Amino acid sequence: MKKIGILGGISHYTTIEYYTRLMDLYKIQYGNIDYPEIIIYSLSHGLFKEYEDNQQMDEYVDYISYGIERLISAGAEVIALAANSPHRVFDILQNKFEIPIVSAVDSVLKESQKLHIKRGLLLGIKFTMQSTFYQDRFKHAGIDLITPNIEEQDIINDIIFNRLTTGKDIDADSKDHILKIISNYSVDGIILGCMRLPVFFNKRTVPELNLVNTLDQHIEAILEEAK
């Protein structure tokens, strides 16, 4: 298989999930322990988040590109950005590098189409919810993707950064807050646009809705590209 390069550190808990799930899925699909070679370059989450929060997009692209360059220098042949938010600049990055960067957004769209989602609710950090890279891609495919209102975005953002990205277990209040937000919208699908949200969300959480786990879909796409 091609050598897989994971750009991680955003957060490091998510990076661990990527590594573990890639290995687990490989074992399921191939039934052996000839695991793919994986290279990880971990960015500083603080600096990454500073560029995001301040909308310093030139510095943001440069910092992500720096990490990708380190992965390529180490021999990576397929790149994965281990977070949703850097996909805002996916096209810019893919145009800068000749080797493939596997899109989480495209893998999520593919699954959403398979589930026949017509109107979905995107959950994630504010940077992701207030960007349009998911909405634009889904709109092109005929899927209406909406986001919670500003106050609800603040609640979700705080839960993600104060609990999920620090490795804390989700508490009952936080879970109830998010479920209440979901209940405010008439949709037939939920897009978990943060790789840490699957920590406490699964299909049993909201059984009446289609649930798209961006982490799982991205992992599948990465292994497929690395074949």
Question: 140 and 177 share a domain?
Answer: yes
Q: Give CA–CA dist 198/201, Å, rounded.
A: 5
Question: CB neighbours of 24 closer than 8 A, spacing ≥ 6?
Answer: none
Question: What are the residue ranges in the chain where pLDDT is below 70?
Answer: 167-170, 200, 202-204
- Give the per-residue pLDDT at 203: 64
- Give the per-residue pLDDT at 164: 81
Question: 12 and 56 share a domain?
Answer: yes
Question: 110 and 164 share a domain?
Answer: yes
Question: 99 and 118 share a domain?
Answer: no
Question: 121 and 48 share a domain?
Answer: no
Domain span including residue 76: 4-103+216-226
DSSP states along 71-127: HHHTT-SEEEESSSGGGGGHHHHHHH-SS-EE-HHHHHHHHHHHTT-SEEEEES-HH
Q: Give CA–CA dist 9/41, Å, rounded.
A: 8
- Give the per-residue pLDDT at 169: 65
Count Cα neighbours of 63 within 13 Å in the Cβ-side half-sphere: 20
- Give the per-residue pLDDT at 173: 86
Q: Give CA–CA dist 25/217, Å, rounded.
A: 11
Question: 90 and 13 share a domain?
Answer: yes
Q: CB count, 10 Å around CB of 96?
A: 14
Q: Give CA–CA dist 59/93, Å, rounded.
A: 13
The pairing of beta strand 144-146 with beta strand 101-102: unpaired
Query: How confident is the model over 137-156, as pLDDT tens digits?
Result: 999 999 999 999 999 999 99
Question: 79 and 144 share a domain?
Answer: no
Q: CB count, 10 Å around CB of 197?
A: 25
Question: 164 and 220 share a domain?
Answer: no
Question: What pTM does this model have?
Answer: 0.91
Question: 164 and 88 share a domain?
Answer: no
Task: Kindly report the backbone phi and psi dihedral angles of residue 20, in degrees, each rounded to the nearest multiple of 5, phi listed first.
Answer: -65, -45
Question: 14 and 94 share a domain?
Answer: yes
Q: Give CA–CA dist 194/125, Å, rounded.
A: 7
Question: 119 and 59 share a domain?
Answer: no
- Give the per-residue pLDDT at 142: 96
Q: At 122, which CATH number?
A: 3.40.50.1860
Give the count of domains, the chain.
Answer: 2
Q: Give CA–CA dist 109/159, Å, rounded.
A: 25
Q: Which residue intervals of the chain are DSSP H helices?
A: 12-30, 45-53, 57-73, 90-96, 104-114, 126-129, 133-140, 150-162, 172-183, 214-226
Question: 88 and 114 share a domain?
Answer: no
